[in-house]
Amino acid sequence: MSAPVLVTVAPNGARRLKGDHHAIPLSIDEIVDEALACREAGAAILHLHVREPDGRHSLDPGRYRETIAAIRAVCDILIQPTTERVGIFAPDDMMAVQRALAPEMVTFNLQELLDPDDDGQTSRVRVFLGEVAAAGTVPQYIVYNPDQLKALARWWEAGWLPQAQPYVLLVLGRYAGSLSQPADIAVFLHHMPEDWLWGVCAFGQQELACVVQAALSGGHCRVGFENNLTRADGRSLTGNAEQVGLLARVLGDLGFRVADPGQARAALGCRSFLRS
């Protein structure tokens, strides 16, 4: 039997607010409730964004600590903080999140770290990625186009990525101007090193079709309001857990097993979960 599919939920992202959908979780209490609902629906991993009280994107380690502790008090979902810059933060802010939290998982975009893309910053990023591995954190490298995937593969071939089997998220489409199609995955897979772990997230109504295609192609799945607010027929989703549940049922009907958090930790080599 094939390995179980890892389902990640990204419930809010950095940009959307209540005006986009009333059920987008922004406060700590809302994020905790959504984490529990999505865990019960089949998600093993929570891609975590935290917000300031006014709704702005935040990389504040204190807000992260408070939110992570509150989630861990109610469920065992694997928590994956973001380091996304969103045009606000700098590479040092991204590194500060990891250094302050040393979480089980974290996400990085290599190009956001390589700013400026010169020898000095390259050296700093190489040292930093070594720190991530030494801390026991499993990074997921986020790539937005095949060129970024090829750059990541070059770093790996040069021995600059510490992971023997990097975990990559392929982002299909963008917030504006480019919605996602299942066929978009193939463009990336031409450049995917053999045996790398990878998943897909997608924008728009075909989100579910795209992530199911990822599973059919040997990858993993991420859904959530960060990227999509609607069902395939255009109706608004009631919440993140609805799409997680739909995905889990489709995968089950197709004969896939959906990983629970313990199985996800084992598959990714995460350190043991310690209930606070």
Q: Six-digit token pair at 96?
A: 């500060």
**Distance (Å, rounded) from C-alpha 38 to C-alpha 189?**
28
Do 226 and 48 form a contact (C-beta atoms < 8 A)?
no
166 CB-side CA count, 13 A: 27
Residue 275's pLDDT is: 39
Task: Determine the 3-state secondary structure of 162 from DSSP.
Answer: coil
* 238-255 tens-digit pLDDT: 999 999 999 999 999 999
* 49-91 tens-digit pLDDT: 999 999 999 999 999 999 999 999 999 999 999 999 999 999 9
Q: Six-digit token pair at 201?
A: 């997230």
Least confident stretch, 8-17, 76-85, 104-113, 266-275: 266-275
pLDDT score of 40 more than 50? yes
Distance of CA 15 to the CA centre of its chain: 15
Mean pLDDT across the chain: 95
**Distance (Å, rounded) from C-alpha 155 to C-alpha 71?**
34
Closest CA relative to residue 174, chosen from 141, 198, 143, 152 = 143
Question: For the chain, which residues make up each domain, given as ranges?
Answer: 7-268
Locus of tokens 């994956």: 80
Closest CA relative to residue 201, chosen from 177, 178, 176, 228 = 228
CATH of domain 7-268: 3.20.20.70
